[in-house]
Structure 1
Amino acid sequence: MDVKSARILIIEDDEDDYILTQDQLEKLDRYRFEIDWVTNLEDALRQLERNVHEICLLDYRLGAYTGIDVLEKAQALGSHVPIIMLTGQSDEDLDRLALKAGAADFLVKGDITNARFTRAIRYAISRAEIEKARQQSLDAEIESRSKDRFIAHLSHELRTPLTSILGYTELLLNGDKARDATKELSTILNNGQHLLSLLNDILDLSKIAAGKLQLKPAYVKLNSFVGDILTLMQMPASEKGLSLQFYSSARAPESIYADPTRLRQVIINLLFNAIKFTDFGEVALWVDYDPAEPEKIRFKVSDTGIGIAESEIDVIFIPFQQLEDVTLKKEQGAGLGLAIATELVRRMEGEISVKSKLGEGSEFTVSLKLPEQLRSTLKPLDVKVSDTKPIDCFAQLAGKILIVDDLLDIRQLVGEMCRSFGLEVCFAADGSQALMAISEPDNDFDLVVMDIHMPVMDGRKAIVEVRNQGFNKPVLALTAANMKGVDIELTSLGFDNVIGKPIDRNVLYQSIAAYLSTSETELEVQSANQTQADNEEQASVLVVEDDADAAELIVLLLESLGTKAEVANSCKQCLNRIAQSNKFSHILLDKNLPDGNGLNLATEIHQLQENSDLIIISGEEVSDQELTDNGIKSALLKPISLQQLQNLFA
């Protein structure tokens, strides 16, 4: 028989009654009680306020006070201890009054020797246990929310200085001011980007621990998916003089079903680790499909590096366990990447494993389930690797912009970037200053870049006031908050686009260029190199995508094909761009935009412009019927690759 422990408070000023009650409690063999006894109101309230007892037995008469007085005063102090009222004689009116005042039960002292007393005690203890469990659950929820707020705040506080570090370093590397310090600046940039990746890892690990990591599975074309990864990894491999190879089974499925962003994160992490711990030889990515095991597809990353000791293999997937580089005798990294990769693969219902031999190399294998409907079409993979380069030179823009941020170094950083784009720049330190600047008749701003978190008046309040004043020019939000739904919230308040911190110079340029035209000087230079007729014949594409990184990548890929491209980040921006110009031969529409659906947007576009080919880009399959119903030519499945775009414009 299980014996329950409970702590009981007895409030009784008659010692004989206290001893009688104590004796009866000791006879309840299913319970072991720890008893506290008080005889006056002050001590009673002091004990009840502590909320450390499972039950309280309260005498109705306590000196000059009644039990009702004690109940009311205890509740006012925040006590939630169940109280059983004891009285010398039966009184139905008193019984109802006690229960109405909050008593758990009402007993006559003469009943403490019978079964009713036992039932009352048992009930009160059960009620206390339920309340305790509820309170613990509530406390855990409060703690979880506090942790989430702390991590969100930490993310903001770390991203803000990283914005200055990375942004100014890129400005110096791309300018003429520090040509003799290129090596040192590159070191700063690389380490700053490493800090940013560690921050992202910590946030991912926190989401995993809190059960808030959301996967977005989709059908993924293997050719383009693998090609994009190999394109990205060429540079880090070549910087170490390593050969980056790709191998595949003779035949493989055209598509898999997984979260493309997270699977890409896993494979890139494995490739980065392989490159980091390999000094000569090769790093290879394999796509392995065996028809004898049709339910699985495997991605393998192998290297000819230092290998892993047998004693370390069991711990490398544990968070914060770093692998020691035996050649340098030091630990590298934070030990988060493999732990996150393991959890991501597990969430995708897959497995990750490793084989390694010290001094010879390692092989990591990610096995994923392959749905039956994807096993029928097997053919050799045709993976093409693109030679993509970052944009270093920007077509000069024309216009006057206002930069609003409470941090001086961020204001100056964004200002320097914008001046390098050819823009006239003004500054404000908070939302109220921005309102005054915008209201000045001489300040005819073409665009505003505004931080969200500022003293005096923050960006959220400021954008509402700005729009109420009638300012209808573009306003872009700057924020270090990358939580889900932030973009939708800010655009609903009146912002036209959202730029994340740390600020990427290319993203900032693309975001501003979507609204401002190039300067007359730049247009003259362009016309000297190319006739107006050539410009009219060249295909022009509008990319409607709210994810700045995805939009930038698509533009870069299109430009590498010799195709002009512009960006809109919402349905509203798309319609505005089309109203300003009907020159777009193709319009790529993201299916899920912050202010609408790409399929529905297609109908509105047809009303403004009939001759454009509309293409949906989506992370999920779009049916032929949906395309036909909305007048859409075709659909591209994310991630968008160069091969997909080449096929589109072939």
Structure 2
Amino acid sequence: MKPDAEQPFIRILLVEDDEDDFVLTRDALRTISKGRMVLEWVDNGAQALAELKTGRHDVCLLDYRLDASTGLELLERMRQQGWLGPVILLTGMSDEALDEQALKAGAADFLDKSQLTPTLLARSIRYALQHARTLEALRRSQASFRALIERLPDGIGVTQDERLVYANPALVSLIGLSSADELLGGSRTELEALFIHAESRALLPRDDQAGAEAKGPPPPMEIRMVRKNGTPVFVELAHAPSVFDGQPCIVWLVRDLTERRQMEARLVRADRMASLGTLAAGIAHEINNPLAFTVANLSHLESDVLPRLKLPTGEQDDVRKLVSDAQFGATRVRDIVRQLKMFSRADEQVRPEPVEVNRVLESAISMASNEIKHRARLVRDFTDQLVAEAHEGRLGQVMVNLLVNAAQAIPEGNVELNEIRVLTRTHAEGLAIEVRDTGSGIPAENLERLFEPFFTTKPVGVGTGLGLPICQDIVTSFGGRMEVESEVGKGSTFRVILRAANVVRPSEAPKEAVVAAASRRGRILVVDDEPMIGMAIRRTLQREHEVIALTSAREAQARLTSGERFDVILCDLMMPEMSGMELHQAVASHSPGLAGRMVFLTGGAFTANARDFLNQVPNHRVEKPFSTQELRGLVQSLLAAAS
């Protein structure tokens, strides 16, 4: 407790029109004030209101009878004016009804002048001040709590007697309204008809049910709401009984699940892409091995075997045509596998780099051709030499998705009457790629939702609602954006806008290396767990070089570390017993120069370690399937460099 000298002054305003009563009150205060109470006196309501406006007073002692008006009427005017301090009503008569009426009006106390004593007045003033401080603290607490609710990102609604009495800004925004006034006062039946999807209305409890939970509030539920513009939104809804403005109520918490669903979509996409990438790389690797020796054997048949066969001219031409057709088919398979390998790397974390747009489009068209050819003519309208800041695999994934969507918007049959046009052009922001179709089109009300996860206009089992959101995420990661235009019955246009690359990506060096006219005979080691590949390479190179083919990397390690010399080592990268990476490490620790002569044959480096290894070592590599000219040229160039 502070010493008396440190106690604050209490300023009291007495509103009294009878001077004798003023003297009575003044004398009572002098007895109890001990110099800490300051009394000011006015004798009418107008003066009282003017004084209270100054905010200097802590307590108001108010006579119940003031000329033609009453103290209760003046009290109401004080509150309207904004003065919230404690008011003690003084009256010349004892009346319990007036006492109750005064307290309901907001008076802190009601005292009978005939029974007024210094002790009673002091007690009343102390109580009034303490009560006022408590109310002020409560008011500030409620104001802070209300401010907190107003700032919450989740929607908050309050219902009393099945009517909405409060809605915070987040709820108003979620529903798509401009003001809470459009909601307040509405019955639950009316609001549910407007803003709750028909399939979700039966899930909602009534207020009496929600308030009668004996074991606490139920767990949150997921429902669909409908915004003012008609678009649905998934939300999590929770409710609990509470008190609002002193009355029982139900508090509803509404959480927008859009961001959560987008995160779920990303997780699903990441898992799906990782699985597809692994599967695609594995398939590519398994196909490339038999394809490699098939291509090599066909080339050997064409260049070395056929010229030695003694066949009539007509039959020899027929055989050459058969070999040529087989080579063409193998080339098509090789291109498909390379595209598959490109998509197996679509989930790699890489920075955007210069990408030749037309090259990616040709690969995407090839992969989507089976969907397109039975539905529409495909028209290319390309601008030459467009290079985008992107990632080849991911951009290819986007274009395949857009092409397949365009095809599926067109019914099968009537191919000549329908068209899918792929167009590239320069754009103010860099460059644009458009996929236009003459399909069924998209209703205007669905255009805004096309990029929402899980939203699809396709039949159940055909679409997941993830394709376009994934495409948008990919394009956005490049610093680009997507646009869509559509009209029902006339078709759709999906536009991908990308930044143009500052430097044109250099074209790949031609793989058909020129064989040196003068070449020396070399000693070549082939290490591949697929025996047919070793045989095919030996057939290809044995006329110019000595070729030894092994199927075991460990056997190769033993021969290389024992001192046996080879000019070139053609080694498969991925082998079950011992990988080409491990063989390189073993040879490098024994003979670094010999490790530098290794050329890696890869059918798809589909592990992170393999990709990192190839990025770190300077050794040459040849992708399966390889052409005989490519292989011969590489061997001859390595022998020439070593001479």
Q: TM-score, normalised by structure 1?
A: 0.38
Q: TM-score, normalised by structure 2?
A: 0.39
